[in-house]
Chains A and B, each alone.
Chain A
């Protein structure tokens, strides 16, 4: 049966599970989408196989075809536009592509389950959670309510939801994001599937919750011998989970092999670049991030031959021909003609570090921005009668930012980090407290003074798709502040200045005639940066400025921000949830939890010797792209869920989840005190 497969199953995995054949064999599939812009070849010649109980990660950037491949296996491609033109998908020897729809429906949910990225929208809001867990049992197993009920309770316990009997009757909105993802897993597990396909299962979740879900999925897969396909862009997750890794680029498989081999001996330049482009939590910050230059090719008109060749530093003329997938060692394949050169060490796996390093400590007496006692309560009306409750988004926050400094602000969603940024930008009025910029109190400033100050505080937003006005061209977007603030003499000077600004952020001047939707995500983020720079700011709030971007693009933007900082002496408040990115870019770091500051320290101090128990757990929870470290360690999971900011715990807000908490922690609010010089923490236990 397997003789026709172009890629034989990996030896290691085959030995571990000595079953007759693989559970799933994808053989040379091609997927096309018919669009107005022509035919998009989303997947080309993809082959791989999965054995029972094996965990395989599919890694790639957006547009690499990883999600499309998963949908093809489930036969869930959009019916009219997308189709598999070629190839076979064998599940237990049965070709799924030629099954009648009726039989395919029986396989979905029973033998193959799927878990989606967005737990907020993948559960039906008007049906109880219990109903949704019992539904596949009734459909695929023919159970009635009396039989399905106990099984649902069992499943809820299995995925770690306590008080299962009561919670079965609740609706999805009564569950948090992490709990909903657990429910999704319970639904997936309901019929004892042989294969679970998880498409970015933890991307929408916070670091601590992500760690819980990852552990749960790994544990369940091992216990029940379920094969797992995890689709992700996060290399840390791959390292924690996977037995085997498949790397995709531009619709093709470029490398596959055991996780340990992929991470330690990558044999494709794209994989190598990907591994280098991620900021690392487990290593001290070197110099600038190494990036993969350029953009992924358009799938409507891909380059001939190796798709990666245009971005590859080691490309040869021969790369204009289709590279074959060759075996380098047992189970490890690379689609690069220079794989042997890489293996022989003739192509450097890490480029020499560039000279431009970051000055870590800024000793400047006068802070550029100083925040004292900043508090923001939102009034929430509940119920028809409008009972008003205060949502405590930010409570008594104090910190300073010095000229030329990058201050990282990390925390989970709902911790108030974005609100702090919005308060500084005066997009929200603070309930109490003081924000001084260059010595001027922004709260007490008259409108004219505020307007003058405002230009020097700018912002870069997370979502490059919604932060640019879709009705304005790039030239108008970047040029507007020049006209409004009279920063240029005339129209011709404005055009020159716009071209100059675009060049500063690495874009061609021709782009100014385009509209935002004609640009890629990375290009849009550059336009957003150019817009901020047009104001000639001194201080920029970067609100999750790189978290919506692909790994290779993320590295480019981080380097750009650092370049600009050096060139113009900018200060940044870098708000993010990704600890590794914050570590890379920040000089000092503030950790927030539920509206309060937990810890402030120098970057290196904080990551080396965190003081606050929350910081410690946060650092533990974050996955690191190294399978040896990941597999060796036992993460100390943060138990429980984030309390509601409508009714925060008394005393220390972290006391309900803290492993060190004692009775006094729920009595007194710990003050932020200087434990060591320059290292502040708010905890009674240290």
Chain B
């Protein structure tokens, strides 16, 4: 009868260090992972890493260019830009990650339910998604911020997180619904239905694991989007407020006034935003390939 070949080689590959295995299979993903880990490290241990207090005003060295003392220069209040960029990573990551997580997860649940149940529920959900999608992202976020105002929990504006999560939800719901529709049509879902399993079990045990790939790629890609959106809202004065260090905020206000004399004020937070967005996008791509079981043998 059918004979299984020994699973020795496979066992060896499974016990191998997963981080090393990931690096070997996805070199670009590994580079982006290094950037993300560095950002997280800086954000978490900002007090230890940053050379100065990000809020300390020093009128003795206003608008100083990059130097040994101030690697990234100082701003109009003499605050150290390197320190503010490092503390800004904390703001960006907290808001970026939580809002993307909330938006993507809610979107994935809505999208999966919409695809699984189909029919009228699907139509209603999809029209609602259409309405949300018809607003430009920034406008939608502005509306939410304007309506809800500010609610600070542990020094973080939860309504800002919510405002960024709302525009993410319909986009993720659309993509996950499309993926869920094709999973829904697979014979193994029919087999689960024929076995008389509950809706919850079929969605959680049989559909969700097959939707992890689109979910993870959306989640990581929208961390980048959320960081951008937070920066935009802060730039517009509706996000994080002074004096909290935030990358978007650092680009706005008098930074633009002193653009010619002190370009480093814009350059470094700008680079920080780009690197963060780029790293999360690359990481999302790498995760998608990595999570596909067909790539593992």
Contact = CB atoms under 8 A, between A and B. Distances in A.
Question: Do A and B truly interact?
Answer: yes
A484 B200 CA distance: 12
Contact of A294 (B3, B186, B206): B3
B188 A466 contact: yes
A43 to B, nearest CB: 23
Contact of A427 (B190, B197, B297): B190
A463 B188 CA distance: 10
B7 A514 contact: yes
Interface string B21-42: 0000000000000000000000
Interface in A170-187: none
A450 interface: yes
B294 to A, nearest CB: 5
A292 B66 CA distance: 77
Interface string B159-177: 0000000000000000000
A461 B185 CA distance: 13
Nearest to B295: A36
A513 B7 contact: yes
A472 interface: yes
Contacts of A582: none
A462 B3 CA distance: 22
Given A451-B196, A518-B10, A295 B3 contact: yes
B243 interface: no
Interface string B127-146: 00000000000000000000
Nearest to B210: A471
A469 B194 contact: no
A91 to B, nearest CB: 38
Nearest to A528: B191
A518 B212 CA distance: 20
A465 to B, nearest CB: 9
A515 interface: yes
A63 interface: no
B195 A511 contact: no
Contact of A515 (B197, B210, B293): B293
A640 interface: no
A469 B210 contact: yes
A507 B10 CA distance: 18
Interface residues of B, number: 27
B20 interface: no
A455 B206 contact: no
Interface string B48-91: 00000000000000000000000000000000000000000000
Contacts of A450: 196
Contact of A454 (B187, B196, B210): B196
B201 interface: yes
A459 interface: yes
Nearest to B201: A484
A58 interface: no
Contacts of B150: none
Interface residues of A, number: 47
Contacts of B193: 425-427
Nearest to B185: A466
B1 A506 contact: yes
Contacts, number: 97
Nearest to B211: A471
Contacts of A511: 4
Interface string A496-530: 00000000001110110111011010110010100
Given A459-B191, A517-B294, A293 B1 contact: yes
Contacts of A295: 2-3
Given A455-B195, A459-B194, A466 B7 contact: no
A138 to B, nearest CB: 39
B297 to A, nearest CB: 6
A508 B3 contact: yes
Contact of B4 (A514, A515, A531): A514
A454, A471, A517 — most chain B CB neighbours (10 Å): A471
A243 interface: no
A556 B1 CA distance: 8
A458 B3 contact: no
Contacts of B293: 470-471, 515, 517
B187 A508 contact: no
A648 B212 CA distance: 44
A513 B11 CA distance: 10
B197 A484 contact: yes
B18 interface: no
A468 interface: yes
B2 A427 contact: no
Contacts of B2: 294-295, 506-508, 520, 522-523, 526, 556
B246 to A, nearest CB: 39
Interface string A101-127: 000000000000000000000000000
Contacts of A517: 293-294
Given A506-B2, A507-B4, A517-B294, A484 B187 contact: no
A484 B195 CA distance: 10
Contact of B195 (A461, A506, A535): A535
A565 B11 CA distance: 36
A37 B193 CA distance: 36
A425 B209 contact: no
A557 to B, nearest CB: 10
A468 B188 contact: yes
B189 to A, nearest CB: 8
B126 to A, nearest CB: 16
A357 interface: no
Contact of B194 (A454, A463, A518): A454
Nearest to A301: B5
Contact of A469 (B1, B188, B201): B188
Contact of A466 (B186, B197, B206, B297): B186
Contacts of A201: none
A30 B197 CA distance: 51
A481 interface: yes
Given A481-B195, A484-B201, A513-B7, A467 B188 contact: yes
A467 B191 contact: yes
Given A466-B187, A470-B294, A427 B1 contact: no
Interface in A359-409: none
B49 to A, nearest CB: 39
Interface in A547-593: 556
B209 A469 contact: yes
A581 B2 CA distance: 21
Contacts of A507: 1-2, 4
A299 interface: no
B16 to A, nearest CB: 16
A520 B1 CA distance: 13
A441 interface: no
Given A295-B3, A468-B188, A514-B7, A427 B194 contact: yes
30 contacts: A37-B297, A293-B1, A294-B2, A294-B3, A425-B190, A425-B193, A426-B193, A426-B194, A427-B190, A450-B196, A454-B194, A457-B194, A459-B191, A459-B194, A462-B187, A467-B186, A467-B190, A470-B210, A471-B212, A472-B205, A472-B209, A480-B205, A506-B1, A508-B3, A514-B7, A515-B293, A517-B293, A517-B294, A518-B297, A520-B2
Q: Please list the 5 inter-chain residue pairs (A to B) with the smallest Cβ-Cβ separation, ordered nearest first.
A: A506-B1, A454-B196, A471-B209, A467-B187, A461-B187
Interface of A: 36-37, 293-295, 422, 425-427, 450-451, 454-455, 457-459, 461-463, 466-472, 480-481, 484, 506-508, 510-511, 513-515, 517-518, 520, 522-523, 526, 528, 531, 535, 556
Interface of B: 1-4, 6-7, 10, 186-188, 190-197, 201, 205-206, 209-210, 212, 293-294, 297
